[in-house]
Structure 1
Amino acid sequence: MFVTDQLGSFTSNTAQILVCVSLGVAGYRAPMRATALAVAASFAATAFNIADPGMALTGNMWMYSVLLPVFPAVLGSYLRSSAERLEEREVTPDALLAAGGVAITVLSTWTTWHSGTQPVWVVGLLAVVGGLSLGIARRLPGLVFLLQGVLLVSADTYLNSAVNTCVILTLIAIGVFSMRVVSWAWTVAAYVTGCLLTAIAVVGDNTEVTPFRVGVLMTLVATPIAIGRYLGVRRAAAATEKLVAEEAARAAVAQVRADQLAERERIARDVHDIVAHHVGAMVLRASAARYAAPDGPVADALNDIRETGHQVLQDLRDLLDLLRDPDRQPDLLANPADVVRESAERMAAAGLVVDLELDPATDQAPLIARTSAARIVQEGLTNVLKHAGPGTRVRVSVTPAEEGLDVEIRNGRPPTAIERLPSSGRGLAGMRERVRTVGGTLSAGPDGEGGWLLAAHLPTHTRVSPGSAA
């Protein structure tokens, strides 16, 4: 600036603007000490730029020399450490502040809009804008405080009759600023600025300055700050209480979940100790009996019992793992088509006459649909063996359908009277629940020819519909 001052006023003023911008950036990004050094260095440069040759530095010139560098630096520092973001979405307080501000400015000043040097519409617009600005004071407290200060100084210069109204708006802005900004340093800065602005408005050339009047002025500015700080503390306490309540709720949910997992673990141990023990004993006895009858149908039956027992133990382990950790995704079948074929072969070895129709196009269906189809085939063939007995012919088909898979298990009339195997009665209900979970449909009943028909439709786009009828 010392160089540009010799080139011309336009260049010098441009440099002055750039210096102010640089000080604002320094206040926003640089440490406080570096910003203070930059502001101090700008004092002399600004005074040198303002002074003309042969003109002494007056009090007003010194004031501008100090304020021009200080103001952008303070503004940048405020933007760096201003009020926290307001998370509250309630706009009723903002609407009330805006409405009250407009009512104050318009009702108290409209009769004097024509008495100033500015056009009536300009004064009226500034009055409305000044009142409406209070509506964003909670979200942009520093900006609104600055705007009210500028309006107060402007009114003191150009429309003296509106000064008292501007003082009221400034005090409101100070109160909101104190409520939103938790830093005591910025609160003190707002208090000092509010005292200066109020003094500009109420102290005239003929006003006698006494300690009593100074005390009244300082108390007048301190009152909205005290109210704002009190409301800010209350708001912070309410926010803290809300966080504590949320943490307590989360802790309660976690405790309930821990209790549930502990109960699941206990159930899993009991199931493993009881069921796995008996199934394991069955497998061992079948293996031992296998050596007593090395050949023939009895040996084949014992082999099947042993292999089935091993599979039951493996399925039981998987179910217990899922019971212990419900968040773990269960392992889906690696190849559902192989499970369907294996089920058909096992039931054929047990005495059923199984005709299997497994369309290769079903491999293109989603895995969850194919897995559900495989489980339905397993359970359906098991039900045929239980209720119709060996020698019964059963036809199994798994075919693609419109937006899904169709599973059909149809068995004929039992060839002879049979001794029904023990049944829990939960097989059909379990299949209905599985189909309903994936959003499909299932029907089961006599086929009108002495046999039984089980039909299920499994959609390829899974959609949970717990209320759907099977």
Structure 2
Amino acid sequence: MGLVRRWPVPVTLYLAAFLVVTDQIGSFTSNTAQILVCVALGVAGFRSTVRATVLAVVATIVATTLNVADPGAAPTGNMWVYSVLLPVFPAVLGAYLRSSAERLDERDVTPDALLAAGGVAITVLSTWTTWHSGSLPVWVVGLLAVVGGLSLGIARRLPGLVFLLQGVLLVCADIYLNDAVNTCVILTLIAIGVFAMRVQSWPWTVAAYLTGCLLSAIAVVGDDTEITAFRVGVLMSLVATPIAIGRYLGVRRAAVAAERLRAEEAARAAVAQVRADQLAERERIARDVHDIVAHHVGAMVLRAGAARYTAPDGPVADALDDIRETGHQVLQDLRDLLDLLRDPDRQPDLLANPADVVRESAERMASAGLVVDLDLDPAADQAPLIARASAARIVQEGLTNVLKHAGPGTRVRVFVAPSQEGLQVEIRNGRPPTTVERLPSSGRGLAGMRERVRALGGTLSAGPDGEGGWLLAVHLPSRLPSGSAA
């Protein structure tokens, strides 16, 4: 049996031969062999081909017949039925488990509850007056009636198992409680209908139909019943009706599922089209902005380069070099922004190392005339990237504001260090050394920083420091607030 999963058919043939040998020598091991060969047949039906499974079933039927036959006695009809059904049943069950109904994803349990309630109502109300008339105890009959009715509640999810259970209850009722046979027939027909609705395979539907006809014949046909073509036709039509209804409902259900799938695909396609339109519009705006700004900045860079040759040395030359380098950096930033607008999911390259951005900003502002003291704690590199990148942008904007409003020669201290549960950024500048000629400003620098910090769940304060200077203090948390987007 340890090899049955890998070689189920050879193991079944071996057990069938073992069953014959143990039966011939009169060993009680034959009973164990009979059980094991049925288990192996179930595995063979589940894992092997139909042709190989049929070979194993035939061999097991022969072995079972030799096992149950009495020496010197003629075989009886019951013996043949037992010898055939005992091997066929596990093989069919294994094949069904391999190709049964697909998983039911519907979460609404209302139909299941209605089936269970209706099943219990049918079984209890139609049979409770006869529970004491059979050979079984009343509590056993009542329990089987309730279980049989409740089993319809899982028929949509386990159609094969419920159909099998109803068939077993029908046979038991025909033997032990004949008054409940009609009720069991009704439950079996309902189970057949649900089976046909859930199992889309025609071979399994035909098998269920033939099984339903056999079970109905067991219940309806008695020893003194005259079998006519008309009665056979009525019986077959009776079983075909729930199967036809079940197949119709199954087709309708499949059509609704296909329509829902098409609607979902259409919705996804519409969302994708909207996103594509948005990206196209972003790219058009970015290209327009790039063309307009790049034209003027490029002209400024060219003029600064040309003027550089007329003043090879001195402060004017340094200023022209700074203008030219700044213009090149602006053009690079514009290209990065253009790439970002084309693909919003990609971060621009300038955020690859925020510490380098901070140092570069300090050096650039120092070359522009500010006296910058940079205190960048190396431990700040342990902060989350979004916090460090935002801190770098804030330092850039803060130093630019100092240059605009305080002017060259102003001393400014930049402090970036980790704090409790976040990152702390301080930009403090002293009193302007001379009268400041204010540079053009959009007035959106501080407001933009506030929006960035608010989006990250941080705090920002800006105002006079009481000594004639200005203090910008920002705290960025280490975690984004729920629902925020970077």
TM-score for the superposition, normalised by structure 1: 0.94
Query: 2: CA distance between counterparts of 1:152 and 1:365?
Result: 71
Question: Where do 1:115-126 residues align within 5 Å?
Answer: 115-126=133-144
Which of 193, 212, 219 is the matching residue for 1:201? 219
What is residue 55 of structure 1 aligned with on the other side? Answer: 73
Contact 2:127 2:179 in 1 (8 A): yes
Contact 1:436 1:466 in 2 (8 A): no
What is residue 258 of structure 2 aligned with on the other side? Answer: 240
What is residue 398 of structure 1 aligned with on the other side? Answer: 416
Query: 1: CA distance between counterparts of 2:471 and 2:427?
Result: 6
Residue 437 of structure 1 pairs with residue 455 of structure 2: yes
* 1:449 positional shift: 4.4
CA distance 1:167–1:334, shift in 2 (3 Å): closer
What is residue 216 of structure 1 aligned with on the other side? Answer: 234
State the aligned residue count: 467
What is residue 183 of structure 1 aligned with on the other side? Answer: 201
* 1:430 positional shift: 1.8
Which of 337, 361, 381 is the matching residue for 2:355? 337
Question: Where do 1:2-17 residues align within 5 Å?
Answer: 2-8=20-26, 10-17=28-35
Query: 1: CA distance between counterparts of 2:203 and 2:375?
Result: 82
Per-residue displacement from partner, 1:206-264 (whole Å, max 9, x unpaired)? 11122222222111111111111111111111111110011001110111111112112
Root-mean-square deviation (CA, aligned residues, Å) is 1.9
Query: 2: CA distance between counterparts of 1:325 and 1:178?
Result: 51
Query: 1: CA distance between counterparts of 2:195 and 2:73?
Result: 41
Q: Which amino acid aligns with 2:127?
A: T
Query: 2: CA distance between counterparts of 1:345 and 1:332?
Result: 16
Contact 1:436 1:464 in 2 (8 A): no
Of 33-42 and 218-227, deviating more is: 33-42
Per-residue displacement from partner, 1:372-422 (whole Å, max 9, x unpaired)? 222111111111211222233333222332222222222334344333211
Residue 308 of structure 1 pairs with residue 326 of structure 2: yes
What is residue 20 of structure 1 aligned with on the other side? Answer: 38
* 1:141 positional shift: 0.6
Contact 1:362 1:405 in 2 (8 A): yes
Contact 1:340 1:378 in 2 (8 A): yes
Contact 1:436 1:465 in 2 (8 A): no
Question: Where do 1:253-292 residues align within 5 Å?
Answer: 253-292=271-310
Contact 2:297 2:327 in 1 (8 A): yes
Per-residue displacement from partner, 1:161-199 (whole Å, max 9, x unpaired)? 111111111111111111110011111111111111111
Query: 2: CA distance between counterparts of 1:97 and 1:415?
Result: 89
Residue 72 of structure 1 pairs with residue 90 of structure 2: yes
Of 438-447 and 185-194, deviating more is: 438-447
Contact 1:332 1:368 in 2 (8 A): no
Per-residue displacement from partner, 1:292-318 (whole Å, max 9, x unpaired)? 101111011011111111211222211
SS at match of 2:131: helix
What is residue 113 of structure 1 aligned with on the other side? Answer: 131
Per-residue displacement from partner, 1:72-116 (whole Å, max 9, x unpaired)? 111111111111111111111111111111111111111111111
Residue 328 of structure 1 pairs with residue 346 of structure 2: yes
Query: 1: CA distance between counterparts of 2:352 and 2:145?
Result: 75
Alignment identity in percent?
A: 86
What is residue 147 of structure 2 aligned with on the other side? Answer: 129
Which ranges of structure 1 fall in alignment gaps of 5 or more residues?
none
TM-score for the superposition, normalised by structure 2: 0.91
Which ranges of structure 2 fall in alignment gaps of 5 or more residues?
1-18
Per-residue displacement from partner, 1:348-378 (whole Å, max 9, x unpaired)? 3222233333334433333332222221111
What is residue 249 of structure 1 aligned with on the other side? Answer: 267
